[in-house]
């Protein structure tokens, strides 16, 4: 096996979490695994890089002069281009559907570097999420290797005429990261309360006998009335079910925070005492909350996946999801953002023990925690000869046979 120089282009919180297992697996298999940080999530990114023991080898000085997608895309294209020229990798790796992933895939393609797309094939077949739906379609076309997390994702790619030899069903690396983090939490000798925001530990202690519901909402399409409806549904649940409590890490956007806080302020003091609104929490804290909660109400794709690793039912506050596999497996329900629909779904899950248990027992469709190793295996098998990458394609054909 020839040692390869692999460059991972990442910059957002989910990308760092999901690429950490791949980075570690590549290093274990003897490759140079380099990180190009696109600079989108500052302090949050630094915390995650420290936690996963990853150090960026090149960081883009991302100076935003405009909030437009066109400006962000052009700035990332230029920055990634400079980073790739400086590091000169054999292979470019990108994850998911962000603008940084799109820029990484395009620059890798422009420089004739094979692109590996991790978490390939997710689709809603709708306009939303915007612009992520089109980003991932484009990346799938540019990629030499498409690493799909599920069979459905693989079928989506085949339906777009992506050759089967370029598709590898490996599971989702988010499960690798979640299980690795759970082990660190369970084996930690440090005081776990020190990892949490100062207000969270006493809140959890005070409501220890109640059912804990984790709530998150951040998607742009849910800003405004949908977020207010989510907050109202949560308030209605707390008012009707005295044995429940809520932890809600609120998106930092000022309008989102204002909408959530204004709705919570309308609750009675006794009900309001059972909800803890927080700024965004660190990854370890989020995993700890997922381990501890009874279920989650969320519009986050990552949390849908992570919750499945811990057998926690998910109510998805969206009208569609690119992770239909969890809905089909019975571990999640699409509840939208209509107030009545959400309220009915929450009441049903809280009041029907059989339904709750059936959602708990759904087998996670996102993998077994070995996805990073499978991805590294494919990259290790690839060979470069006479200007053409080979090896991986034949491996895919053998697996598909």
Residue closest to 26 by CA, chosen among 142, 176, 157? 176
CA distance 349 to 341: 12
Which domains occur in the chain, in start order?
A: 5-172+368-400 (3.40.50.2000), 194-360 (3.40.50.2000)
Residue 397: its pLDDT value, please? Answer: 45
**Active site (annotated) includes residue 263:** no
Please choose, from the candidates 263, 280, 276, the residue with its C-alpha nearest in 3D space to the C-alpha of residue 339.
Answer: 263
Residue tagged active-site, from 154, 182, 218, 228 = 218
Contact between 227 and 306 under an 8 Å Cβ cutoff? The reply is no
Tell me which of 55, 85, 184, 220 is the catalytic residue: 220
Question: Of residues 13, 15, 41, 119, which has the active-site annotation?
Answer: 119
Q: Is the distance from CB of 162 to CB of 183 less than 8 angstroms? A: no
Q: Look at strands 314-316 and 295-298 and give their pairing.
A: parallel
* Rounded Cα–Cα distance for residues 401 and 387 (Å): 27
Predicted local distance difference test score (pLDDT) of residue 253: 87
Q: Is 218 among the catalytic positions?
A: yes
The whole-number pLDDT of residue 387 equals: 63
Distance separating alpha carbons of residues 272 and 162, to the nearest angstrom? 51
pLDDT in tens, the chain (401 residues): 689 999 999 999 999 999 999 999 999 999 999 999 998 767 788 999 999 999 999 999 887 777 889 999 999 999 999 999 999 999 999 999 999 999 999 999 999 999 999 999 999 999 888 999 999 999 999 999 999 999 999 999 999 999 999 999 999 999 999 999 999 999 874 555 656 788 999 999 999 999 999 999 988 888 889 999 999 999 999 999 999 999 999 998 899 999 999 999 999 999 999 999 999 999 999 999 999 999 999 999 889 999 999 999 999 999 988 889 999 999 999 999 999 999 999 999 999 999 999 999 999 999 999 999 999 999 999 987 666 676 544 444 444 44
Task: For residue 183, indicate whether it is catalytic.
Answer: no
Taking the C-alpha atoms of residue 71 and residue 400, their distance in angstroms, rounded to an integer, is 41
The residues that bridge with 58 in the sheet, in sequence order, are: 36
Tokens of 202: 């006493």
Angle at 227 between CA 235 and CA 352, to 5 degrees: 50
Kindly name the residue from 15, 90, 132, 393 that is annotated as catalytic: 132
Active-site annotation holds for 259: no
Q: Is 160 labeled as catalytic in the residue annotation?
A: no
> Whole-angstrom Cα distance, residue 60 to residue 39?
6
Distant-in-sequence, close-in-space partners of 158: CB < 8 Å, separation ≥ 6 = 164, 167
**Is 47 one of the catalytic residues?**
no
Q: Identify the pLDDT of residue 1.
A: 64
Question: Residue 148 carries which DSSP code?
Answer: E
Q: Which of 15, 23, 31, 97 is catalytic?
A: 97
The catalytic position among 251, 274, 288, 318 is 251
Q: Minimal CA–CA distance to 156: which of 117, 107, 109?
A: 117
d(CA 36, CA 92) in angstroms, rounded, equals: 10
């Amino acid at each position: 096996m020839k040692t390869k120089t692999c460059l991972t282009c990442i910059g957002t919180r989910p990308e760092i979490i999901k690429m950490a297992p791949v980075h570690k697996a590549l290093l274990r298999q003897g490759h140079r695994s380099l990180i190009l940080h696109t600079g989108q999530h500052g302090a949050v990114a630094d915390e995650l890089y420290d936690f996963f023991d990853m150090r960026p080898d090149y960081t883009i000085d991302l100076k935003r002069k405009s909030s437009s997608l066109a400006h962000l895309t052009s700035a990332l294209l230029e920055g990634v281009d400079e980073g790739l020229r400086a590091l000169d990798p054999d292979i470019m790796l990108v994850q998911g559907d962000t603008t940084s992933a799109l820029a990484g895939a395009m620059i890798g393609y422009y420089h004739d570097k094979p692109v590996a797309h991790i978490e390939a094939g997710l689709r809603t077949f709708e306009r939303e999420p915007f612009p992520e739906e089109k980003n991932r379609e484009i990346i799938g076309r540019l990629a030499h290797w498409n690493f799909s997390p599920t069979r459905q994702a693989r079928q989506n790619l085949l339906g777009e005429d992506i050759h089967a030899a370029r598709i590898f069903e490996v599971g989702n690396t988010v499960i690798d990261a979640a299980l690795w983090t759970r082990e660190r939490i369970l084996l930690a000798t440090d005081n776990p309360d020190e990892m949490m925001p100062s207000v969270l530990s006493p809140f959890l202690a005070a409501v220890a006998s109640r059912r804990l519901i984790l709530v998150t909402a951040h998607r742009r399409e849910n800003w405004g009335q949908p977020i207010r409806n989510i907050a109202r549904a949560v308030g209605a649940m707390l008012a009707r079910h005295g044995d429940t409590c809520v932890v809600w890490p609120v998106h930092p956007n000022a309008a989102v925070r204002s909408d959530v806080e204004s709705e919570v302020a309308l609750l009675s003091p006794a009900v309001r005492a059972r909800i803890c609104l927080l700024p965004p929490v660190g990854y370890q804290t989020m995993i700890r909350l997922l381990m501890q909660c009874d279920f989650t109400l969320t519009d986050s794709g990552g949390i849908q996946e992570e919750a499945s690793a811990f057998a926690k039912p998910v109510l998805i506050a969206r009208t569609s999801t690119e992770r239909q596999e969890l809905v089909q497996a019975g571990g999640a329900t699409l509840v939208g953002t209509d107030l009545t629909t959400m309220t009915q779904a929450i009441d049903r899950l809280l009041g029907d023990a059989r339904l709750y248990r059936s959602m708990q027992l759904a087998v996670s469709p996102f993998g077994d925690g070995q996805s990073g190793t499978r991805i590294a295996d494919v990259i290790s098998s690839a060979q470069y000869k006479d200007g053409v990458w080979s090896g991986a394609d034949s491996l895919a054909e053998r697996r598909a046979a």
